[in-house]
Structure 1
Amino acid sequence: MKRDDAVARAKILKALANPTRLMMVDELSRGDRCVSDLRFLARVDPSVISRHLAQLKTAGIVIERRAGMRVIHHLECPCILQALDCTLGVMQSDAVRKSRLATVATRKA
């Protein structure tokens, strides 16, 4: 992998490296949302949601469009959900590994 590609990918992963932003991406996978829709998801101030959306937009994950007075946010690259699914696989694999280690440790005790 070239350095420029690694830097660009790291920027995307950094934008996802926050529980609130992950929840927002998950919610946007179900359809377009405005800030007030997303606010209830994380139970935070709209300005906090706007800052999180700005990071997701900068990374190219989310785009926005105007609908009258509202700004609607859209998941630009739904394929990002495959990466999130992969993290679930890593979590499950790690849980299995830890369970095996705990079993071995119990047998030795």
Structure 2
Amino acid sequence: MAQKINGKCRPDPEQISRLQNILSSIPSEEEFYQNSEILKALSDPTRLKIIYLLQEGELCVCEIMHALEKPQSTVSHHLNILKNAGFIKWRKAGIWIHYQLSCPEILEHIQEITTMMK
């Protein structure tokens, strides 16, 4: 049971030991940072829509622009964030860049998480 010392709540030795065990098993600060960056990449409706658009396979940037009804600069910005987070990969064909999901199963995982939270 937590103890009050000088009006402040402090964990007892058993609680401290339990907390140390928990802390030793969780990811490092760097891993938390990396994971938060990955999750941030999915936190935008436009980026989620791009993930959904790519579920059937590769699309050219011009197709994504048309589907989103957004200018090239906006689409490129979102694609770059998804690419840096590892969600999509690309290849250049002439003047256009084509994108596809790095891991097609990502959409299933996104749907699973969002369904669990409803």
TM > 0.5? yes
What are structure 1's unaligned runs of at least 5 residues?
A: 95-109
TM-score by length of 2: 0.70
Structure having the larger proportion of residues in helix: 1
**Kindly, what percent of the aligned residue pairs are identical?**
33
Residue 20 of structure 1: how far off its partner (Å): 0.5
What secondary structure, in the 3-state scheme, does the structure 2 residue paired with 1:29 have?
Answer: helix
- Given candidates 62, 70, 73, the residue that maps to 2:88 is 62
The equivalent residue for 1:2 is 27
- Could you tell me how far 1:41 is from its partner in structure 2? 1.9
More deviation in 1-10 or 60-69? 1-10
Unaligned runs of 5+ in 2: 1-25
Provide the rounded CA distance (Å) in 2 between the counterparts of 1:18 and 1:87: 15
* Cα distance in 2 between the residues matched to 1:39 and 1:70: 12
1:88 aligns with 2:88: no
CA distance in 1, matches of 2:38, 2:55: 17
Partner Cα distance (1:18, 1:42) in 2 = 13
Figure out how many residues of one structure are paired with residues of the other and give that number: 92
Give the ranges of 4+ consecutive aligned residues of structure 1 lying more than 4 Å apart after TM superposition. Answer: none
Query: Judging changes above 3 Å, is the alpha-carbon distance between structure 1 residues 32 and 45 closer, same or farther for their aligned structure 2 residues?
Result: same
* SS of residue matched to 1:63: strand
SS of alignment partner, residue 85 of structure 1: helix
The answer to whether the 8 Å contact 1:28/1:75 transfers is yes
Match of 2:46 in 1: 20
Distance 1:69 1:61 in 2: 22
- Greater C-alpha radius of gyration: 2
Deviations 1:67-91 (A, max 9, x none): 2222111111223212211233135
Which AA in structure 2 matches 1:20?
T
Q: Please, what TM-score do these two structures have when normalized by structure 1?
A: 0.75
Inter-partner Cα distance in structure 2 for 1:88 and 1:58: 23
Q: Which has the higher strand share?
A: 2
Higher relative contact order (CA 8 A, sep 6+): 1
State the alpha-carbon separation in 2 of the partners of residues 78 and 13 from structure 1.
Answer: 17
